[in-house]
């Protein structure tokens, strides 16, 4: 295995043939699809599942006809074996030619003599290709004739790759999957089950149920499909990538569906919760001021996975999407109007094109640490587990699944085959969909070897860093996992990887809510976390600063609850982190107390101001700007029907006080270089107005950021429960201080762009509030 790792760490591109030759020495990889015609006739299943009405994959049926290919290697032709009576077969079917096919590319490809299917399985002993043909004249429906073709290991296998080519198959709307058999030895890590139809890991499109959360179709199967009929997507003559410098990013973490699914979005029902719905609300994003969206997972996932068996959470819908079925296919149920996978692909591209035209980059939250297939107690076998569990997942010495993801399984990321799958997936999203970057969920898993042990120089991380296609991308790690590998500030980075700065989140939360002894830590975080990132050629923007993310408390929760309240999700409060460093401002949960509500409003603005004036890259969560977000309380699944009804609210919510404040502060940051240093700030860039660093009880911090033109910005944060009267520093020559922000004031006085002149040399800063003064002529 060390040999494979060293091979994949070279800086030059590694070809597929080189990769698999290294994994399967002695194999020949010359293309072998040239003209070996078996002249085989297909027998097809006449009975079809009509109960799905085009909204779900066929129901499993026993009425199928099996077809076996001719064994070319020993010349013994094997007749087609019918499992059912001849009366169940079509009297006459198309006569298609089949060829042995070729190993590469993996997945489905169109070749000169037909459609080529290729799948890797090192330990399989038998592979059967299952095809579902579209009904004639019924484009887009999922019912059709079912064909199964057994692949011959002598003629349809190269190394550990099984392949076949079929002539004259339709060029689109064919569904396909595989039945795979192999050793029945759980102690050695095998989980083969020939009865399950499996999704091709390299399928570029996935079909399943058509409508998100359709309970009537909750047991629908998922299959791959392809589309060689559609014209290439037109990106436009004047199209260009935004290419925003990392130091200038303001990231908005959002969920495609939740962003517009509520009726208060004002959108037509057909496009609510879809990629097209995002397009319709780009004007909102521009008004807010962000220039990058980080989309929660958009790879195909099963939102009803928890409803497959009786359990305490079987009433829930997975709306966040951290449960991947396939790494290449866009979530098909984010297509408008139940349009399916081909429309989803087209609409995703339309969304990216529209966002780019508006100057907004698209970063994808990607989950390569685990899949939807869960654990051995409640397995949900859809793909990898049944194809080759021993290759795709980390196992212990007894063949049992290792769980560093908290989700029952851990992808074997640094196995050379799995590593190439991940690289191919990333390249696909960059070349096919033009995305600008990736945020890697639980990225510390990607730093573990095949036995789960941490690696100092993980081959996959290095390969992503050095890959030519990915060179233009932002790459961001969530630098921890559920096995305790916490790498904030020490993630293997090759001076390229950015990191979610979990220490920023915790330290800022603690200081703003008034914890003692946090002043020095708060100062370190807002000045760029040099203790973490000032190494080699790293920059402040390699720290992704955030106070709130999709995990855990929303901004509203953070100022409204001291404890989790997750009663609705059926987990008894055992889910999520217990250390949220939150403060309810005097009353647990919702309240009509005006003083508590006022304090909460102030605290939310304090958090936002701190985030936007900090050196590094700020990231905020969808809904933060409204100040009345519905609480999620660590629940990453949620009730889909209520998950974001807060987002649009009444018709005038976009003009709400909180939206106005958040938008103004974001735009203020983007307009001033003083908050966006390329390098770590020096003593010439900042003056700390502080001689009380060692006072454990001090909860006040003030400092001035100096700009290159001789001006400056004065900031003060008061986390005491009392007023603090400060002596303002002398402004730069020929300038005076103007108040831009005071979070204690009501809108619109809490933010005044042109500033209000300070007539005194002192400023009385209210309890739990912050100010920003700008030096102007």
> Tens digits of per-residue pLDDT, 498-529?
999 999 999 999 999 999 999 999 999 999 99
Q: Could you tell me the pLDDT band of residue 626, with boundaries at 50, 70 and 90?
A: confident
DSSP-assigned states of every residue in 678-717: SS---TTTEEE--S-TT-TT--EEEEEEEPTTS-EEEEEE
Catalytic: 305? no
> Which pLDDT belongs to residue 627?
65
3-class SS of residue 506: helix
Q: Which pLDDT value is given to residue 449?
A: 98
Q: How confident is residue 255, by pLDDT bands cut at 50, 70 and 90? A: very high
Residue with tokens 């240093």: 677
Sheet holding 751-757, edge to edge: 686-688, 700-706, 712-718, 769-776, 736-742, 751-757
Q: Return the closest-CA partner of residue 67 out of 34, 32, 38.
A: 38
pLDDT tens digits, one per residue of 372-390: 999 999 999 999 999 999 9
For the chain, give the percent of residues with pLDDT over 90: 78
111 three-state secondary structure: strand
The pLDDT value given to residue 96? 82
pLDDT above 90: residue 142: no
In the chain, what's the furthest Cα-to-Cα distance? 99
Reported as a single tens digit per residue, the pLDDT across 697-713 is 999 999 999 998 889 99
Give per-residue pLDDT as tens, 742-769. 999 999 999 999 999 999 999 999 999 9
Least confident of 170-174, 420-424, 600-604, 640-644: 640-644
pLDDT the model gives residue 693: 94
Locate 610 and state its tokens: 């701190």
Beta strands in 59-204 (DSSP E): 66-68, 98-99, 107-111, 114-120, 126-132, 146-151, 157-158, 161-166, 172-181
Which residue carries 């080519």 as its tokens? 165
Q: Quote the Cα angle for 476-577-458, to 5°.
A: 35
Domain boundaries, the chain: 98-227, 250-671, 686-776
- 85 is annotated as an active-site residue: no
DSSP 15: P
DSSP string, 456-482: SS-HHHHHHHH-SGGGGSEEEE----T
Q: How much is the average pLDDT of 395-423?
A: 98
Distance CA 602, CA 683 (A): 31
pLDDT at 629 over 70: no
Local confidence band at 568 (pLDDT 50, 70, 90 cut-offs): confident
Other Cβ atoms less than 10 A from the Cβ of 87: the count is 7
Pick the catalytic residue from 253, 373, 441, 499: 441
CB atoms inside a 10 Å sphere around CB 682: 8
Domain boundaries 98-227, corresponding CATH code: 2.60.40.10
Angle (CA) 125-129-132 rounded to 5° is 155
| Among 478, 481, 506, 557, the one annotated catalytic | 478
pLDDT at 94: 57
Is 75's pLDDT higher than 60? Answer: no
CATH topology of domain 686-776: Immunoglobulin-like (2.60.40)
**Closest listed residue to residue 576, CA positions, set 553, 547, 546:** 553
Pick the CATH number of 250-671 from 3.30.465.10, 3.20.20.70, 3.20.20.80, 3.30.530.20: 3.20.20.80
One fold for 98-227 and 686-776:
yes
Per-residue pLDDT averaged across 344-359, rounded?
Answer: 98
pTM value is: 0.89
153-173: average pLDDT: 97
Please give the mean pLDDT across all residues of the chain: 86
Residues whose CB falls within 8 Å of the CB of residue 622, separated by 6 or more in sequence, listed in order? 252, 253, 254, 255, 258, 259, 644, 647
The lowest-confidence range among 39-53, 86-100, 133-147 is 39-53
List the one residue out of 559, 590, 571, 548 whose CA is nearest residue 635.
Answer: 571
Percent of the chain past pLDDT 70, that is, above it, reads 83
Average of per-residue pLDDT across 395-400: 97
pLDDT tens digits for range 4-35: 222 222 222 333 333 333 333 333 333 343 44
Closest by CA to 539, choosing from 505, 503, 499, is: 499
Comparing CA positions, the residue from 168, 172, 207 lying closest to residue 42 is 168
Q: What is the mean pLDDT of residues 222-251?
A: 97
pLDDT digits (tens, 9 = 90+) for 36-72: 433 333 444 433 433 333 334 333 322 333 333 333 2
Q: What is the DSSP string of 63-97?
A: ---EEE---TTT----PPPPSS-GGGB-SS-----
- What is the rounded radius of gyration, in angstroms, for the C-alpha atoms of the chain? 29
């Amino acid at each position: 295995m060390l040999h494979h790792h060293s091979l994949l760490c070279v800086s030059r591109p590694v070809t597929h043939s080189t990769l698999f030759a290294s994994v399967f020495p002695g194999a020949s990889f010359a293309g072998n699809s040239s003209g070996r015609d078996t002249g085989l006739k297909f027998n097809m299943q006449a009975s079809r599942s009509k109960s799905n009405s085009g909204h779900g994959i066929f129901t499993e049926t026993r009425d199928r006809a099996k077809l076996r290919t001719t064994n070319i290697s020993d010349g013994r032709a094997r007749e087609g074996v019918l499992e059912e009576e001849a009366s169940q077969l079509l009297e006459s079917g198309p006569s298609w030619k089949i060829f042995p096919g070729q190993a590469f590319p993996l997945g489905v490809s169109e070749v000169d003599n037909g459609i080529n299917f290729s799948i890797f399985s090192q330990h399989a002993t038998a592979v059967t290709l299952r095809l579902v043909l579209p009904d004639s004249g019924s484009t887009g429906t999922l019912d059709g004739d079912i064909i199964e073709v057994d692949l011959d290991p002598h003629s349809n296998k190269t190394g550990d790759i099984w392949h076949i080519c079929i002539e004259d198959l339709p060029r689109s709307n064919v569904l396909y999957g595989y039945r795979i058999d192999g050793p029945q030895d759980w102690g050695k890590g095998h989980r083969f089950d020939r009865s399950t139809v499996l999704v091709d890991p390299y399928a570029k499109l996935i079909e399943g149920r058509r409508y998100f959360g359709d309970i009537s179709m909750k047991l629908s199967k998922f299959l791959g499909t392809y589309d060689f009929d559609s014209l290439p997507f037109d990106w436009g003559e004047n199209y260009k990538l935004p290419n925003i410098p990392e130091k200038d990013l303001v990231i908005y973490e959002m969920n495609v569906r939740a962003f517009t699914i509520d009726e208060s979005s004002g959108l037509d029902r057909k496009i609510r919760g879809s990629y097209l719905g995002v397009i319709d609300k780009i004007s909102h994003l521009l008004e807010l001021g962000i220039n990058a969206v980080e989309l929660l997972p958009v790879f195909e996932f099963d939102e009803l996975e928890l409803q497959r068996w009786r359990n305490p959470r079987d009433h829930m819908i997975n709306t966040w999407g951290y449960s991947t079925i396939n790494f290449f296919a866009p979530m098909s149920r984010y297509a408008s109007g139940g349009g399916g996978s081909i429309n989803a692909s087209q609409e995703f591209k339309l969304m990216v094109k529209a966002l780019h035209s508006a100057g907004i980059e698209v970063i994808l939250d990607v989950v390569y640490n685990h899949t939807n297939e869960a654990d051995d107690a409640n397995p949900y076998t859809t793909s990898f587990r049944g194809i080759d569990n021993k290759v795709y997942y980390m196992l212990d010495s007894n063949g049992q699944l290792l769980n560093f993801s908290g989700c029952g399984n851990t992808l074997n990321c640094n196995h050379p085959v799995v590593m190439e799958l991940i690289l191919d997936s990333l390249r696909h999203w960059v070349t096919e969909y033009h995305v600008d970057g990736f945020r890697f969920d639980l990225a510390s898993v990607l730093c573990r070897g095949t036995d789960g042990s941490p690696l100092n120089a993980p081959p996959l991380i290095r390969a992503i860093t050095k890959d030519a296609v990915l060179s233009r991308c932002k790459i961001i790690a969530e630098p921890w996992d559920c096995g305790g590998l916490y790498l904030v500030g020490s993630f293997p980075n090759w001076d390229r990887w950015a990191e979610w700065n979990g220490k920023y989140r915790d330290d800022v939360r603690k200081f703003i809510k008034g914890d003692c002894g946090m002043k020095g830590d708060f100062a370190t975080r807002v000045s760029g976390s040099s203790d973490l990132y000032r190494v080699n050629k790293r920059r402040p923007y390699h720290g992704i600063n955030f106070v709130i993310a999709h995990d855990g408390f929303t901004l509203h929760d953070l100022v409204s609850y001291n404890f989790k309240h997750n009663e609705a999700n059926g987990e008894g409060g055992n889910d999520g982190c217990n250390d949220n460093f939150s403060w309810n401002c005097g009353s647990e949960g919702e309240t009509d107390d005006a003083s508590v509500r006022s304090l909460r409003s102030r605290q939310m603005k304090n958090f936002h101001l701190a985030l936007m004036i900090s050196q590094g890259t700020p990231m905020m969560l969808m809904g933060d700007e409204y100040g009345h977000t519905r609480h999620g309380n660590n629940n990453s699944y949620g009730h889909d029907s209520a998950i974001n009804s807060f987002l649009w609210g009444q018709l005038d919510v976009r003009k709400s006080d909180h939206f106005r404040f958040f938008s103004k502060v974001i735009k203020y940051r983007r307009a001033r270089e003083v908050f966006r240093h390329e390098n770590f700030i020096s003593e010439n860039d900042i003056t700390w107005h502080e001689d009380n660093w060692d006072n454990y009880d001090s909860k006040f911090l003030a400092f001035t950021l100096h700009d290159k033109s001789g001006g400056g910005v004065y900031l003060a944060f008061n986390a005491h429960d009392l007023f603090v009267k400060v002596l303002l520093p002398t402004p730069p020559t020929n300038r005076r201080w103007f108040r831009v922000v005071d979070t204690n004031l009501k809108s619109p006085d809490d933010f005044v762009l042109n500033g209000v002149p300070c007539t005194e040399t002192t400023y009385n800063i209210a309890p739990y509030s912050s100010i920003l003064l700008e030096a102007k002529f």
